[in-house]
Chain A
Amino acid sequence: MPFVISAGWFRAALLAAMLAMPAVALAVQPDEIMKDPAQEARARNLSRELRCMVCQNQSIDDSDAPLARDLRLLVRERIGAGDSDGQVINFLVARYGEFVLLKPRFELHTLLLWGVPPAVLVLGALALWVNARRRRAPASSVPEIAPLSAEEQRRLRRLISDDGRGK
């Protein structure tokens, strides 16, 4: 049964009810937002590249975990202190390791990760090219056809005899 709150005394009860709820916080909280919109935009962009380490593959921008909030505040603190984007990233990697980056750096241990997509594309294209060249060569172009089995011969005769009308 819905009812709109108007009486002031009821607000206290409502407040109590809401505060009693387990916190389902929003990701970015209003009190985190930086005063300078340009700096805030930078912070948001950086947040999307950083992982909340206790979450399942969520960026700190999306996550409502307390750790994500701490990291968001840290990012803003560094930006406020005049760090460049690269410096903020380096600072966080030095502190938490590469695990914090959602886009791993191109290094020896991520060679395969970054290398597979272009390799598949190039090797696939190469295979197609070689295949097309080989197939353009003459001879062997007439496909061999397997002879029909007795059962198939019967089925064929049946199909031909009744003009493809099934039964």
Chain B
Amino acid sequence: MMPEAGHYALVLALVLALVQAVVPIIGARRRDPALMNVAASTASAQFMFALISFGALTASHMVSDFSVANVFENSHSLKPMLYKITGVWGNHEGSMMLWVFILALFGALVAVFGGNLPATLRANVLAAQAWIAAAFYLFILTTSNPFLRIANPPVEGRDLNPVLQDIGLALHPPLLYLGYVGFSISFSFAVAALIEGRIDAAWARWVRPWTLVAWIFLTLGIAMGSYWAYYELGWGGWWFWDPVENASLMPWLSGTALLHSALVMEKRNALKIWTILLAILTFSLSLLGTFLVRSGVLTSVHAFATDPARGVFILAILIFFIGGGFALYAWRAGSLKQGGLFAPVSREGALVLNNLLLTTACATVFVGTLYPLALEALAADKISVGAPFFNLTFGPLFVPLLIAVPFGPLLAWKRGDLLGASQRLIAAGLLALAGVALVMAWSWGGPALAPFGVGLAIFVIVGAVSDLVERCGLIRKPALALKRARGLPASTWGTAFAHAGLGLTLLGIVCETTWSDERIATMRAGDQTMVGGYSVRLDGFAQRHGPNYREVTAQFAVARNGAAIGVMEPSKRNFVTRGSATTEAALMTRGFSQLYISLGDLSADGTIAVRLYHKPLVLLIWLGTVVMVFGGGLSLMDRRLRVGAPRPARSAKALQPAE
């Protein structure tokens, strides 16, 4: 009964989306408030039904209703409850359900918080949002129905892929989808602006918080996925330039560009057409990511061709929205007026440079990811594009971008003073040079580029800090600094944190890739080995039983300079139902660095293959992204930008009841 109710709710959501896709646009044309207001109610109702539908699927998983094919294929009665719930989106059908659920959520949020939008803009935005929702409801209902029943229900399920039975699955996909799908709002705003043929600074002010929210979630989602891969896959890699990762990196790059260009548009009324284009592009790349991951085209072009129903449907969605978006853009962009002149050396100029480099980086990832697919499909020629290609092309693009980052916030709008900005960055520059010299002396004869990487990271971090120091006058008038610091807009702090976070991530990347120490050894109980200055001794093995697996763990005693500092217990898990196994690496955190041990094969003579790593400052990679996200959050707190309302604070007070 429950799955049928979920299925029915999904159909109702589709119907509501169709109404929402048509009626408000007519209303906006005729300036009929009644018709326009349909959008807000349908968006909320649509969310209700999407919630019911998603809830029904989740409930089926929680009670292990194996008469539902989706539950049977991806669950097991012995699976811990957390994984029963996260298993909902650990498969194709369920992940698409999560997609539309979040899409409906965002639509409802615009309806609720968009009260201060001009009525026609709100109607058009929600209508555009409904077009996307309708397409995906149709996709699920026709090709990926998660509510299908099995005629003769089996007693037990097939269990979830063991690699996915991890807390990572609880966080990574929802965060990533909140990011992907969040960009649909920017897209809908762009489409609405093009339909109306009007766009102004206020539009940018409304779009920016939504873009920022999506960006925050996407950043967290990517970082979370990276950390998950790092500890789960067992060999300590954290970024693989895998097409699936690239699919999420592309919208991140263009979304980051969009954040910055929307800033120019809001403050200076310039770059309008470009901002609209980026908004369309960013969501197009999110759709492309969904297509790449969901159609099976990545495994092989041929796999896609043999079971094309889903792939072709998503491809049609892709063509419709991307093609439609760009056609609308080509048709209407001419009617948008450009404004706001600026000199090449100015805040605007710096943000344009940021956009140029980010867009090029995005194009690089795009061509690197899709070229092999295109070549195979069109010319039956197989090539591979992997990490060495991206390191060579993507890396050099980020160097000028990172050098430019500290300059941007120091330049004035309209016409900036490059010399003045450089003077204010002298401290950062000197510290960076000192860092380069120090690292060079310490690692003499080592990798030639690494010291410069460290120097660049220091420049970015200290540069972000010196912007704050400058703005609150810490050096000129220290007495007033605290007061002025408090008076700075939250978005200024946000910028500084976001940029400093970028520097931290860079520092982590440089240190981890350059000075990571690896030891591959065959050990037996009592053996000892050294890695990164730590001595590690294998003490013995133990066997454990988990809820749906058996595992063998190895105990390693870790010591530094003769003093014991702890025990590490990597393990190998064998999952009974699927007959597959996972390696669970053991991690020990020392400051921002980590020791990492994962197990290989046990051979008949009682020895075991072991991989040990010492990864210096590796945690900074993810800590940096968290700092970036914190900066984004601060910007979001900025009263001038808060989602919902640039409403004066005193009116809120006036509305409070007397106590």
Contacts and interface: CB of A to CB of B under 8 A. Distances in A.
A5 interface: yes
Contacts of A25: 600-601, 609
A114 B375 CA distance: 14
A146 B198 CA distance: 8
Nearest to B396: A117
Interface stretch (B5-13, B40-48, B147-155, B575-583): B575-583
B561 interface: no
B384 A101 contact: yes
Contacts of B299: 56
A21 B356 contact: no
Contacts of B648: 164-166
A24 interface: yes
Nearest to B381: A109
Interface residues of B, number: 78
B161 interface: no
Interface in B598-654: 598-602, 604, 606, 609, 611, 647-648, 650-651, 654
Nearest to A121: B360
Interface in A1-44: 1-6, 11, 14-15, 17-31, 33
Interface string A28-66: 111101000000000000001101000011110010000
Interface string B565-596: 00000001010000111110000000000000
B602 A15 contact: yes
A21 B572 contact: yes
A132 interface: yes
Contact of A26 (B550, B606, B609): B609
B393 A117 contact: yes
A99 B383 contact: yes
A9 B357 CA distance: 64
B360 A124 contact: yes
Contacts of A48: 387-388
Interface string A80-113: 0000000000000000011111111000011011
Given A99-B382, A112-B371, A124-B360, A22 B580 contact: yes
B304 to A, nearest CB: 14
Nearest to A165: B651
| Majority SS at the chain B contact face | mixed
Nearest to A102: B386
Interface stretch (B60-68, B75-83, B538-546): B538-546
B520 A62 contact: no
Given A26-B235, A59-B386, A121-B360, A19 B367 contact: no
A100 B298 CA distance: 17
A167 B655 CA distance: 9
B422 interface: no
Contacts of B553: 2
B435 interface: no
B522 interface: yes
Interface in B225-265: 234-235, 237, 240-243
A161 interface: no
B308 to A, nearest CB: 20
Nearest to A63: B235
B143 to A, nearest CB: 23
Interface of B: 31, 118-119, 198, 234-235, 237, 240-243, 269, 298-299, 337-339, 341, 344, 352, 356-357, 359-360, 363-364, 367-368, 371, 375, 379, 381-389, 392-393, 397, 520-522, 540-545, 550, 552-553, 555, 572, 574, 579-583, 598-602, 604, 606, 609, 611, 647-648, 650-651, 654-655
Q: Which 8 A-B pairs have the closest CB atoms?
A: A102-B386, A26-B600, A103-B388, A143-B339, A116-B367, A117-B364, A18-B602, A30-B522
8 contacts: A26-B599, A30-B521, A99-B382, A101-B383, A102-B386, A103-B385, A116-B363, A121-B357
Interface of A: 1-6, 11, 14-15, 17-31, 33, 48-49, 51, 56-59, 62, 97-104, 109-110, 112-114, 116-117, 120-121, 124-125, 128, 132, 135-136, 141, 143-144, 146, 149, 151-152, 155, 164-167
